[in-house]
Protein backbone atom coordinates (compact mmCIF):
# COMPACT_ATOMS: atom_id res chain seq x y z
CA UNK A 1 0.00 0.00 0.00
CA UNK A 2 1.20 3.48 -0.76
CA UNK A 3 1.70 5.87 2.09
CA UNK A 4 -1.44 7.95 2.65
CA UNK A 5 0.55 11.11 3.37
CA UNK A 6 2.31 10.75 0.01
CA UNK A 7 -1.00 10.23 -1.75
CA UNK A 8 -2.38 13.40 -0.20
CA UNK A 9 0.77 15.36 -0.98
CA UNK A 10 0.53 14.21 -4.60
CA UNK A 11 -3.10 15.29 -4.79
CA UNK A 12 -2.29 18.68 -3.31
CA UNK A 13 0.32 19.26 -5.99
CA UNK A 14 -2.19 18.64 -8.81
CA UNK A 15 -3.65 21.81 -10.34
CA UNK A 16 -6.25 21.69 -13.06
CA UNK A 17 -6.73 24.60 -15.44
CA UNK A 18 -10.25 25.27 -16.65
CA UNK A 19 -11.00 26.80 -20.07
CA UNK A 20 -12.90 30.08 -20.39
CA UNK A 21 -14.95 28.58 -23.22
CA UNK A 22 -16.38 25.87 -20.97
CA UNK A 23 -18.44 28.54 -19.19
CA UNK A 24 -19.99 30.14 -22.29
CA UNK A 25 -22.71 28.82 -24.55
CA UNK A 26 -21.21 26.22 -26.83
CA UNK A 27 -22.05 22.87 -28.26
CA UNK A 28 -22.10 21.09 -31.56
CA UNK A 29 -22.34 22.23 -35.16
CA UNK A 30 -25.96 21.05 -35.15
CA UNK A 31 -27.29 23.20 -32.36
CA UNK A 32 -26.07 25.30 -29.49
CA UNK A 33 -28.61 25.28 -26.69
CA UNK A 34 -28.34 28.58 -24.88
CA UNK A 35 -28.41 28.43 -21.11
CA UNK A 36 -29.42 31.07 -18.63
CA UNK A 37 -26.82 32.91 -16.62
CA UNK A 38 -23.85 32.24 -18.88
CA UNK A 39 -21.07 34.85 -18.95
CA UNK A 40 -21.39 37.91 -21.16
CA UNK A 41 -17.78 38.98 -20.90
CA UNK A 42 -14.35 37.45 -20.26
CA UNK A 43 -14.57 38.94 -16.76
CA UNK A 44 -17.69 36.93 -16.05
CA UNK A 45 -16.04 33.76 -17.39
CA UNK A 46 -13.23 34.35 -14.93
CA UNK A 47 -15.59 34.79 -12.05
CA UNK A 48 -17.26 31.48 -12.98
CA UNK A 49 -13.86 29.78 -13.13
CA UNK A 50 -13.12 31.25 -9.70
CA UNK A 51 -16.16 29.41 -8.34
CA UNK A 52 -14.69 26.11 -9.48
CA UNK A 53 -11.48 26.92 -7.65
CA UNK A 54 -13.37 28.15 -4.59
CA UNK A 55 -15.13 24.82 -4.15
CA UNK A 56 -12.40 22.41 -5.26
CA UNK A 57 -9.26 24.28 -4.21
CA UNK A 58 -7.51 22.73 -7.17
CA UNK A 59 -8.38 24.87 -10.22
CA UNK A 60 -6.39 28.07 -9.71
CA UNK A 61 -6.00 29.11 -13.34
CA UNK A 62 -8.19 29.75 -16.35
CA UNK A 63 -7.16 29.41 -19.99
CA UNK A 64 -8.11 32.22 -22.36
CA UNK A 65 -8.94 32.00 -26.01
CA UNK A 66 -8.10 34.81 -28.40
CA UNK A 67 -10.18 36.40 -29.93
CA UNK A 68 -13.12 35.04 -27.94
CA UNK A 69 -11.70 36.61 -24.77
CA UNK A 70 -10.27 39.76 -26.29
CA UNK A 71 -10.36 42.78 -23.97
CA UNK A 72 -8.77 46.22 -24.23
CA UNK A 73 -6.73 45.80 -21.10
CA UNK A 74 -5.29 42.31 -20.56
CA UNK A 75 -3.26 43.39 -17.57
CA UNK A 76 -6.55 44.59 -16.06
CA UNK A 77 -8.13 41.21 -16.79
CA UNK A 78 -5.21 39.48 -15.06
CA UNK A 79 -5.61 41.82 -12.06
CA UNK A 80 -9.32 41.02 -11.97
CA UNK A 81 -8.51 37.28 -12.02
CA UNK A 82 -6.11 37.80 -9.15
CA UNK A 83 -8.83 39.59 -7.13
CA UNK A 84 -11.10 36.62 -7.78
CA UNK A 85 -8.47 34.21 -6.43
CA UNK A 86 -7.35 32.75 -9.76
CA UNK A 87 -4.85 33.60 -12.49
CA UNK A 88 -4.73 33.57 -16.25
CA UNK A 89 -3.31 30.35 -17.65
CA UNK A 90 -2.55 29.34 -21.21
CA UNK A 91 -3.35 31.66 -24.10
CA UNK A 92 -5.11 29.66 -26.82
CA UNK A 93 -4.71 31.06 -30.30
CA UNK A 94 -7.36 30.91 -32.98
CA UNK A 95 -6.33 30.66 -36.61
CA UNK A 96 -9.30 28.57 -37.62
CA UNK A 97 -12.36 30.81 -37.85
CA UNK A 98 -11.41 33.69 -40.10
CA UNK A 99 -12.62 33.11 -43.71
CA UNK A 100 -9.03 33.65 -44.91
CA UNK A 101 -8.09 30.33 -43.29
CA UNK A 102 -10.30 28.14 -45.49
CA UNK A 103 -7.22 26.48 -47.04
CA UNK A 104 -5.09 26.70 -43.93
CA UNK A 105 -3.44 29.28 -41.71
CA UNK A 106 0.30 28.86 -41.13
CA UNK A 107 0.47 26.20 -43.86
CA UNK A 108 -1.67 28.07 -46.38
CA UNK A 109 -0.08 28.25 -49.85
CA UNK A 110 -0.71 32.02 -49.87
CA UNK A 111 2.10 33.89 -48.08
CA UNK A 112 -0.26 36.77 -47.23
CA UNK A 113 -2.51 34.42 -45.25
CA UNK A 114 0.47 32.81 -43.55
CA UNK A 115 1.70 36.23 -42.46
CA UNK A 116 -1.71 37.11 -41.05
CA UNK A 117 -1.76 33.86 -39.05
CA UNK A 118 1.74 34.36 -37.70
CA UNK A 119 0.87 37.94 -36.72
CA UNK A 120 -2.01 36.57 -34.67
CA UNK A 121 0.26 34.10 -32.93
CA UNK A 122 2.76 36.85 -32.17
CA UNK A 123 -0.06 38.98 -30.78
CA UNK A 124 -0.92 36.07 -28.48
CA UNK A 125 2.62 36.25 -27.10
CA UNK A 126 2.12 39.99 -26.47
CA UNK A 127 -1.02 39.04 -24.53
CA UNK A 128 1.00 36.50 -22.53
CA UNK A 129 3.38 39.30 -21.60
CA UNK A 130 0.45 41.39 -20.36
CA UNK A 131 -1.28 38.59 -18.43
CA UNK A 132 1.85 36.90 -17.12
CA UNK A 133 0.88 33.64 -18.83
CA UNK A 134 3.54 31.00 -19.22
CA UNK A 135 2.03 29.00 -22.07
CA UNK A 136 0.99 29.64 -25.65
CA UNK A 137 -1.22 26.82 -26.86
CA UNK A 138 -1.33 26.20 -30.57
CA UNK A 139 -3.92 24.13 -32.33
CA UNK A 140 -4.10 24.32 -36.10
CA UNK A 141 -7.10 23.25 -38.11
CA UNK A 142 -4.80 23.22 -41.14
CA UNK A 143 -5.05 20.24 -43.41
CA UNK A 144 -6.41 18.81 -46.63
CA UNK A 145 -9.67 17.20 -47.61
CA UNK A 146 -8.45 15.71 -50.88
CA UNK A 147 -5.31 13.99 -52.13
CA UNK A 148 -3.35 16.39 -54.27
CA UNK A 149 -5.09 19.47 -52.84
CA UNK A 150 -1.72 20.83 -51.71
CA UNK A 151 1.80 19.58 -51.22
CA UNK A 152 2.10 17.64 -47.96
CA UNK A 153 5.81 18.28 -47.58
CA UNK A 154 5.73 21.98 -48.44
CA UNK A 155 3.09 22.42 -45.76
CA UNK A 156 5.49 20.93 -43.18
CA UNK A 157 8.12 23.47 -44.28
CA UNK A 158 5.64 26.32 -43.90
CA UNK A 159 4.58 25.04 -40.49
CA UNK A 160 8.19 24.80 -39.31
CA UNK A 161 8.91 28.32 -40.54
CA UNK A 162 5.90 29.82 -38.74
CA UNK A 163 6.60 27.93 -35.52
CA UNK A 164 10.21 29.11 -35.59
CA UNK A 165 9.22 32.77 -35.86
CA UNK A 166 6.80 32.48 -32.94
CA UNK A 167 9.20 30.38 -30.89
CA UNK A 168 11.92 32.99 -31.28
CA UNK A 169 9.54 35.64 -29.96
CA UNK A 170 8.90 33.73 -26.68
CA UNK A 171 10.27 35.43 -23.60
CA UNK A 172 12.09 33.89 -20.69
CA UNK A 173 9.97 31.33 -18.89
CA UNK A 174 7.42 31.21 -21.71
CA UNK A 175 6.59 28.02 -23.55
CA UNK A 176 4.90 26.86 -26.71
CA UNK A 177 2.51 23.92 -26.50
CA UNK A 178 1.81 22.22 -29.81
CA UNK A 179 -1.45 20.28 -29.92
CA UNK A 180 -2.12 17.60 -32.51
CA UNK A 181 -5.33 16.23 -33.94
CA UNK A 182 -5.84 13.29 -36.24
CA UNK A 183 -8.91 14.59 -38.03
CA UNK A 184 -11.43 17.42 -38.28
CA UNK A 185 -12.05 19.86 -39.77
CA UNK A 186 -9.71 18.39 -42.41
CA UNK A 187 -10.28 14.72 -43.08
CA UNK A 188 -7.73 13.49 -45.62
CA UNK A 189 -4.67 14.91 -43.87
CA UNK A 190 -4.06 17.28 -41.02
CA UNK A 191 -0.76 19.13 -40.80
CA UNK A 192 -0.16 18.16 -37.15
CA UNK A 193 -2.01 14.84 -37.01
CA UNK A 194 -0.25 13.02 -34.19
CA UNK A 195 2.12 13.24 -31.25
CA UNK A 196 5.07 12.18 -33.38
CA UNK A 197 4.67 15.14 -35.71
CA UNK A 198 4.22 17.50 -32.81
CA UNK A 199 7.20 16.01 -30.98
CA UNK A 200 9.45 16.27 -34.03
CA UNK A 201 8.61 19.95 -34.50
CA UNK A 202 9.15 20.60 -30.80
CA UNK A 203 12.58 18.95 -30.82
CA UNK A 204 13.56 20.97 -33.89
CA UNK A 205 12.42 24.19 -32.19
CA UNK A 206 14.12 23.83 -28.83
CA UNK A 207 13.47 23.30 -25.13
CA UNK A 208 10.62 25.81 -24.82
CA UNK A 209 8.37 23.72 -27.08
CA UNK A 210 6.39 20.78 -25.78
CA UNK A 211 3.50 18.58 -26.85
CA UNK A 212 -0.10 19.04 -25.74
CA UNK A 213 -2.16 15.85 -25.64
CA UNK A 214 -5.87 16.40 -26.17
CA UNK A 215 -7.46 13.14 -25.09
CA UNK A 216 -10.13 13.44 -27.81
CA UNK A 217 -7.76 13.72 -30.74
CA UNK A 218 -6.76 10.15 -31.50
CA UNK A 219 -7.96 7.20 -33.51
CA UNK A 220 -10.22 4.85 -31.55
CA UNK A 221 -8.22 2.37 -29.52
CA UNK A 222 -5.04 4.49 -29.38
CA UNK A 223 -3.02 3.75 -26.27
CA UNK A 224 -2.76 7.29 -24.91
CA UNK A 225 -0.83 6.29 -21.80
CA UNK A 226 1.95 5.01 -24.05
CA UNK A 227 2.19 8.47 -25.59
CA UNK A 228 2.27 9.97 -22.09
CA UNK A 229 5.05 7.62 -21.00
CA UNK A 230 7.08 8.26 -24.16
CA UNK A 231 6.81 12.05 -23.98
CA UNK A 232 7.58 12.14 -20.27
CA UNK A 233 10.71 10.11 -20.85
CA UNK A 234 11.70 12.54 -23.59
CA UNK A 235 10.90 15.57 -21.42
CA UNK A 236 8.42 16.90 -23.99
CA UNK A 237 5.03 16.48 -22.37
CA UNK A 238 3.88 20.04 -21.80
CA UNK A 239 0.14 19.82 -21.33
CA UNK A 240 -3.12 17.98 -21.51
CA UNK A 241 -6.44 19.02 -22.91
CA UNK A 242 -8.60 16.65 -20.90
CA UNK A 243 -12.05 15.75 -22.10
CA UNK A 244 -13.90 12.57 -22.87
CA UNK A 245 -14.88 10.87 -26.09
CA UNK A 246 -17.11 8.08 -27.19
CA UNK A 247 -16.50 8.54 -30.91
CA UNK A 248 -14.55 11.59 -31.99
CA UNK A 249 -13.59 14.97 -30.56
CA UNK A 250 -16.66 14.83 -28.32
CA UNK A 251 -15.37 17.36 -25.76
CA UNK A 252 -17.43 15.80 -22.98
CA UNK A 253 -16.66 15.92 -19.25
CA UNK A 254 -13.21 14.48 -18.48
CA UNK A 255 -13.41 10.89 -17.32
CA UNK A 256 -17.06 10.51 -18.30
CA UNK A 257 -16.74 7.84 -20.99
CA UNK A 258 -13.65 6.00 -19.85
CA UNK A 259 -12.48 6.68 -16.29
CA UNK A 260 -10.14 3.70 -16.56
CA UNK A 261 -8.26 5.38 -19.41
CA UNK A 262 -7.93 8.54 -17.34
CA UNK A 263 -6.55 6.43 -14.47
CA UNK A 264 -4.00 4.78 -16.78
CA UNK A 265 -2.89 8.20 -18.02
CA UNK A 266 -2.59 9.59 -14.50
CA UNK A 267 -0.69 6.50 -13.42
CA UNK A 268 2.04 7.31 -15.95
CA UNK A 269 2.17 10.84 -14.57
CA UNK A 270 2.37 9.60 -10.99
CA UNK A 271 4.98 7.02 -11.95
CA UNK A 272 7.14 9.82 -13.34
CA UNK A 273 6.49 12.02 -10.27
CA UNK A 274 5.23 14.64 -12.70
CA UNK A 275 2.10 15.95 -10.97
CA UNK A 276 3.68 19.36 -10.42
CA UNK A 277 3.55 22.57 -12.45
CA UNK A 278 5.70 21.51 -15.42
CA UNK A 279 2.66 19.93 -17.06
CA UNK A 280 -0.39 22.12 -17.65
CA UNK A 281 -3.34 19.88 -16.79
CA UNK A 282 -6.05 21.69 -18.69
CA UNK A 283 -9.60 20.83 -19.52
CA UNK A 284 -10.84 21.38 -23.08
CA UNK A 285 -14.52 20.72 -23.15
CA UNK A 286 -17.88 22.24 -23.97
CA UNK A 287 -21.13 21.82 -22.10
CA UNK A 288 -24.13 21.93 -24.36
CA UNK A 289 -26.85 20.07 -22.44
CA UNK A 290 -25.54 20.14 -18.87
CA UNK A 291 -25.15 23.15 -16.57
CA UNK A 292 -21.69 24.52 -17.05
CA UNK A 293 -20.12 25.26 -13.67
CA UNK A 294 -21.34 21.94 -12.16
CA UNK A 295 -20.01 20.14 -15.24
CA UNK A 296 -16.59 21.70 -14.79
CA UNK A 297 -16.71 20.79 -11.09
CA UNK A 298 -17.51 17.19 -12.07
CA UNK A 299 -14.61 17.11 -14.52
CA UNK A 300 -12.14 18.48 -12.01
CA UNK A 301 -13.30 15.91 -9.47
CA UNK A 302 -13.03 13.11 -12.03
CA UNK A 303 -9.41 14.05 -12.71
CA UNK A 304 -8.76 14.16 -8.97
CA UNK A 305 -10.33 10.72 -8.49
CA UNK A 306 -8.28 9.19 -11.30
CA UNK A 307 -5.16 10.79 -9.81
CA UNK A 308 -5.92 9.51 -6.32
CA UNK A 309 -6.26 5.98 -7.68
CA UNK A 310 -3.06 6.38 -9.67
CA UNK A 311 -1.22 7.50 -6.53
CA UNK A 312 -2.59 4.50 -4.64
CA UNK A 313 -0.86 2.05 -6.95
CA UNK A 314 1.67 0.15 -4.88
CA UNK A 315 4.65 0.85 -7.09
CA UNK A 316 7.04 -1.42 -5.20
CA UNK A 317 4.66 -4.36 -5.44
CA UNK A 318 4.02 -3.58 -9.09
CA UNK A 319 7.71 -3.45 -9.94
CA UNK A 320 8.48 -6.67 -8.14
CA UNK A 321 5.60 -8.45 -9.91
CA UNK A 322 6.82 -7.04 -13.24
CA UNK A 323 10.39 -8.10 -12.63
CA UNK A 324 9.49 -11.63 -11.65
CA UNK A 325 7.25 -11.99 -14.68
CA UNK A 326 4.10 -12.25 -12.55
CA UNK A 327 1.65 -11.13 -15.20
CA UNK A 328 -1.52 -11.60 -13.20
CA UNK A 329 -0.01 -10.22 -10.02
CA UNK A 330 1.13 -7.06 -11.78
CA UNK A 331 -2.24 -6.51 -13.34
CA UNK A 332 -3.91 -7.11 -9.97
CA UNK A 333 -1.80 -4.41 -8.28
CA UNK A 334 -3.01 -1.90 -10.83
CA UNK A 335 -6.63 -3.03 -10.65
CA UNK A 336 -6.66 -2.99 -6.84
CA UNK A 337 -5.81 0.68 -6.93
CA UNK A 338 -8.28 1.42 -9.69
CA UNK A 339 -11.08 -0.35 -7.85
CA UNK A 340 -10.55 1.61 -4.63
CA UNK A 341 -13.30 4.05 -3.74
CA UNK A 342 -11.27 7.23 -3.30
CA UNK A 343 -14.20 9.55 -2.67
CA UNK A 344 -13.81 9.42 1.15
CA UNK A 345 -10.09 10.17 0.79
CA UNK A 346 -10.81 13.21 -1.36
CA UNK A 347 -13.54 14.37 0.99
CA UNK A 348 -11.04 14.20 3.88
CA UNK A 349 -8.45 16.06 1.88
CA UNK A 350 -10.93 18.85 1.17
CA UNK A 351 -12.00 19.06 4.79
CA UNK A 352 -8.33 19.29 5.82
CA UNK A 353 -7.99 22.30 3.51
CA UNK A 354 -11.06 23.97 4.96
CA UNK A 355 -13.25 23.12 1.97
CA UNK A 356 -16.65 21.48 1.89
CA UNK A 357 -16.14 17.75 1.30
CA UNK A 358 -18.79 17.87 -1.44
CA UNK A 359 -17.97 20.68 -3.93
CA UNK A 360 -21.12 20.24 -6.00
CA UNK A 361 -23.45 20.45 -3.01
CA UNK A 362 -21.54 23.42 -1.67
CA UNK A 363 -21.82 25.19 -5.02
CA UNK A 364 -25.53 24.48 -5.17
CA UNK A 365 -26.03 25.88 -1.68
CA UNK A 366 -23.98 28.99 -2.41
CA UNK A 367 -26.76 30.56 -4.50
CA UNK A 368 -24.26 31.56 -7.22
CA UNK A 369 -26.26 29.81 -9.96
CA UNK A 370 -29.45 31.73 -9.07
CA UNK A 371 -27.52 34.97 -8.84
CA UNK A 372 -25.97 34.74 -12.31
CA UNK A 373 -29.31 33.76 -13.84
CA UNK A 374 -30.87 36.87 -12.30
CA UNK A 375 -27.98 39.19 -13.14
CA UNK A 376 -26.89 38.11 -16.61
CA UNK A 377 -29.16 38.54 -19.56
CA UNK A 378 -28.06 37.42 -23.04
CA UNK A 379 -25.05 35.18 -22.32
CA UNK A 380 -22.15 35.17 -24.75
CA UNK A 381 -21.50 32.49 -27.30
CA UNK A 382 -18.21 30.86 -26.34
CA UNK A 383 -17.19 30.63 -29.95
CA UNK A 384 -17.84 27.03 -30.89
CA UNK A 385 -20.76 25.85 -32.99
CA UNK A 386 -22.02 29.33 -33.81
C1 LIG B 1 -9.66 21.60 -31.28
O2 LIG B 1 -10.20 20.54 -31.62
C3 LIG B 1 -8.83 21.68 -30.12
O4 LIG B 1 -9.17 20.73 -29.18
C5 LIG B 1 -8.33 22.99 -29.52
O6 LIG B 1 -7.73 22.78 -28.28
C7 LIG B 1 -9.19 24.19 -29.56
O8 LIG B 1 -8.35 25.23 -29.87
C9 LIG B 1 -9.90 24.52 -28.27
O10 LIG B 1 -10.93 23.64 -28.10
C11 LIG B 1 -10.47 25.90 -28.22
O12 LIG B 1 -9.47 26.77 -28.35
ZN1 LIG C 1 -7.88 20.73 -27.42
ZN1 LIG D 1 -10.43 19.22 -29.86
Q: Give the CATH number for residue 371.
A: 3.20.20.150
pLDDT digits (tens, 9 = 90+) for 135-178: 999 999 999 999 999 999 999 999 999 999 999 999 999 999 99
Task: Provide the domain limits for residue 248.
Answer: 11-312+356-375
Summarize the confidence of residues 181-189 as an average pLDDT.
97
CB of 179 within 6 A of ligand 1: the answer is yes
Burial of 303 (0-12, 13-18, 19+ CB in 10 A): buried
Residue 373 contacts residue 37 (beta carbons within 8 Å): yes
Please indicate, yes or no, if residue 317 is contained in any of the structural domains: no
| Orientation of helix 111-131 relative to helix 152-169, angle to 10° | 30
- Ligand 1 atom nearest the C-alpha of 216 is 4
How many domains, in total, are found in the chain?
Answer: 1
Question: 325 lies in a domain?
Answer: no
Atom of ligand 1 minimally distant from the CA of 65: 12
Asked if residue 205 belongs to a domain, the reply is: yes
Q: Rounded to the nearest whole angstrom, what is the distance from the C-alpha of residue 6 to the centroid of ligand 3?
A: 34
The preferred substitution site among 179, 194, 245 for testing ligand 1, maximizing ligand atoms within 8 Å of CB, is 179
Residue 347 domain flag = no
ipTM entry: 0.97
State the ligand closest to the CA atom of 283. 2
- Contact between residue 48 and residue 74 where contact means Cβ atoms under 8 Å apart: no
Q: How far is the CA of 367 from the centre of ligand 1 (A)?
A: 31
pTM as predicted: 0.97
Question: What is the pLDDT at residue 28?
Answer: 85
* pLDDT above 70: residue 385: no
Please tell me if the CB atom of residue 92 comes closer than 6 angstroms to any atom of ligand 1.
yes
| 19-39 average pLDDT score | 92
How does residue 29 score in pLDDT terms, banded at 50, 70 and 90?
A: confident
Residue nearest to atom 10 of ligand 1 (CA): 284
Say if 210 falls within a structural domain.
yes
pLDDT digits (tens, 9 = 90+) for 262-307: 999 999 999 999 999 999 999 999 999 999 999 999 999 999 999 9
In a domain, 136, yes or no: yes
* pLDDT single digits (tens) 228-268: 999 999 999 999 999 999 999 999 999 999 999 999 999 99
Would you state the pLDDT for residue 50? 98
Does residue 43 form part of some domain?
Answer: yes
Answer yes or no: is the C-beta of 74 below 6 A from any ligand 1 atom. Answer: no
245 lines ligand 1 (CB under 6 A): no
- Strand, coil or helix: what is 178? strand
- The reply to whether 308 falls in a domain is yes
Amino acid sequence: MSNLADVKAGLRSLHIETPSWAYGNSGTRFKVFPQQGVPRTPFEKISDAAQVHRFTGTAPSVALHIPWDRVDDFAGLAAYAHDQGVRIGAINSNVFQDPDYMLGSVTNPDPRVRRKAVQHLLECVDIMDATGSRDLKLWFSDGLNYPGQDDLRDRQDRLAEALREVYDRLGQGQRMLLEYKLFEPAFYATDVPDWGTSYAHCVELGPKAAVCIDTGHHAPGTNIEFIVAFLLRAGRLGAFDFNSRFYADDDLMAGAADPFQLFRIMYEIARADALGPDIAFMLDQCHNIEPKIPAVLRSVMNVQEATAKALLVDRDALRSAQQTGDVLGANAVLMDAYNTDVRPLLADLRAESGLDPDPTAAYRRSGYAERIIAERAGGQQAGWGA
